[in-house]
């Protein structure tokens, strides 16, 4: 049986993505399951992988991108007894999910309640898990605290605001003026990152935590927003990734140097893959908790647009045009 997948044969602009038909679906090896993909994402991190600017991808070209998926198991390899054909699962694949069928290690699969919409469920895997782990595991946010979220109308930003409102946090969010209303509706005070100084908007008294994937010179300004015992969670260098600033990596180094000064504040770096490697149990636990919140109707991910897998190029173009509120999902 043939199947389709989206591959990239070179690094570059969205049109390096191409839909191809493969002659036979892959066969799961021992310890693997084959998943029929139902939903995957087009997210900013995929665009970094597509441009060859993402540290940690070992695949050789050509390969399929696709950082996360929700799908249905349609075959199991030798030795798999805890997962069954027909079961819905989620996985953080990092690459490979832009395919109608793919084989993944069974240990990567996290069960998904059947009743969930695959597009909403897949929003939990990379985007909400990132927000949840930064909020709970790293910043250890407590009810009523003040936080500042950068890129607050983006995929991770809206997830942070949803989860922050469950904790009744007092929230500030930087966004472009066009997305200020989205930020306000999610319970945060919008700050226009093009025309306002977020430092003076939140200090005094400052905030307990800042979530910053903008990087570069933004890190130093975010650090100034912290109150005593506050934490800056750095999780990306968006500005250098889009070519607006140089020195993304060195801005991480400079930020970490700040921890040498005993000023009562701290900075930590979050990477979903690094934390998952260190604490695979946390990832499963946190993703399962998110599925329960979704099932209970306590969170409502913003899906800006749903595309077909075959429209991956259009989804990537839209991502790079910017200004989207929420997440883009690709459906099989
Ligand atoms: N470390 C990890 O494990 C991890 C996990 C997931 C994501 N990430 C990173 O997190 C970042 C966000 O991902 P995402 O999927 O949420 O991307 P996204 O949906 O594209 O959101 C990025 C947001 O940042 C806004 N923005 C751009 N420049 C800004 C500035 N100077 N100040 C404030 N906001 C600004 C954009 O607004 P406009 O569109 O209006 O310009 C957009 O809303 C990316 O860098 C991604 O690589 C890291």
What is the pLDDT at residue 275? 98
- List residues near ligand 1 (CB under 6 A): 43-45, 48, 126, 130, 150-151, 153-157, 174, 176, 179, 193, 213-214, 235-236, 238-239, 270-272, 322-323
* Amino acid 209: pLDDT: 98
Cα(175) to centroid(ligand 1), Å: 10
Over residues 5-20, the mean pLDDT reads 97
C-alpha of residue 214 to centroid of ligand 1, in Å: 7
Domain range summary for the chain, segments of one domain joined by +: 3-112+302-331, 130-272
Distance of CA 97 to the CA centre of its chain: 14
Which residue has its alpha carbon closest to ligand 1 atom 36? 151
pLDDT in tens, 26-49: 999 999 999 999 999 999 999 999
- pLDDT-based confidence at residue 9 (cuts at 50, 70, 90): very high
pLDDT digits (tens, 9 = 90+) for 61-114: 999 999 999 999 999 999 999 999 999 999 999 999 999 999 999 999 999 999
User: Best substitution site from 238, 245, 274, 278 to test ligand 1's pocket, by max atoms within 8 Å of Cβ?
Assistant: 238
pLDDT score of 57: 87
| Protein residue with least CA distance to atom 39, ligand 1 | 323
Cα-to-centroid distance, 24 and ligand 1 (Å): 37
pLDDT (0 to 100) of residue 151 = 98
Q: What is the pLDDT of residue 55?
A: 83
Please provide the CATH number assigned to the domain covering 130-272: 3.40.50.720
> Whose CA is closest to atom 27 on ligand 1?
151
**Residue 217 C-alpha to ligand 1 middle, in angstroms?**
15
pLDDT exceeds cutoff 90 at 56: no
117-150: pLDDT as tens digits: 999 999 999 999 999 999 999 999 999 999 999 9
Q: Residue 152 — very low, low, confident or very high, per pLDDT cuts 50/70/90?
A: very high
How far is the centre of ligand 1, averaged over its atoms, from the C-alpha of 43 (Å)? 9
CATH of span 3-112+302-331:
3.90.180.10
Q: Which atom of ligand 1 is nearest to the CA of 176?
A: 40
């Amino acid at each position: 049986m043939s199947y389709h997948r989206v591959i990239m044969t070179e690094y570059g602009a969205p049109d390096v993505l191409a839909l191809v038909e493969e002659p036979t679906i892959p066969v799961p090896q021992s310890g693997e399951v084959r998943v029929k993909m139902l939903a995957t994402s087009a997210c900013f991190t995929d665009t970094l992988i597509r441009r060859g600017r993402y540290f940690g991808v070992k695949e050789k070209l050509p390969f399929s991108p696709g950082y996360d998926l929700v799908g249905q198991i349609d075959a199991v390899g030798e030795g798999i007894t805890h997962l069954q054909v027909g079961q819905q699962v989620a996985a953080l694949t990092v690459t490979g999910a832009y395919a109608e069928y793919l084989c993944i290690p069974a240990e990567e699969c996290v069960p998904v309640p059947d009743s969930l919409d695959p597009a909403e469920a897949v929003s939990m895997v990379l985007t909400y898990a990132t927000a949840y782990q930064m909020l709970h595991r790293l910043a250890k946010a407590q009810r009523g605290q003040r936080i500042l979220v950068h890129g607050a109308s983006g995929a991770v930003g809206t997830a942070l605001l949803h989860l922050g409102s469950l904790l009744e946090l007092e929230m500030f969010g930087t966004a472009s003026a066009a997305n200020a209303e989205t930020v306000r509706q999610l319970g945060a005070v919008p700050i226009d990152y093009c025309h306002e100084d977020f430092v003076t908007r939140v200090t005094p008294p400052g905030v307990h935590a800042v979530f910053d994937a903008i990087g570069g010179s933004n890190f130093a300004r975010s650090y100034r927003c912290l109150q005593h015992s506050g934490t800056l969670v750095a999780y990306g260098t968006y500005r250098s990734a889009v070519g607006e600033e140089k020195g993304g990596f060195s801005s991480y180094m400079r930020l970490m140097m700040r921890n040498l000064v005993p000023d009562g504040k701290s900075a930590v770096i979050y990477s979903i893959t690094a934390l998952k490697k260190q604490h695979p149990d946390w990832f499963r636990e946190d993703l399962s908790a998110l599925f329960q919140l979704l099932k209970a109707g306590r969170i409502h991910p913003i899906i800006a647009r749903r595309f077909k897998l075959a429209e991956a190029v259009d989804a990537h173009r839209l991502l790079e045009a910017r200004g989207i509120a929420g997440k883009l999902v690709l459906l099989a």
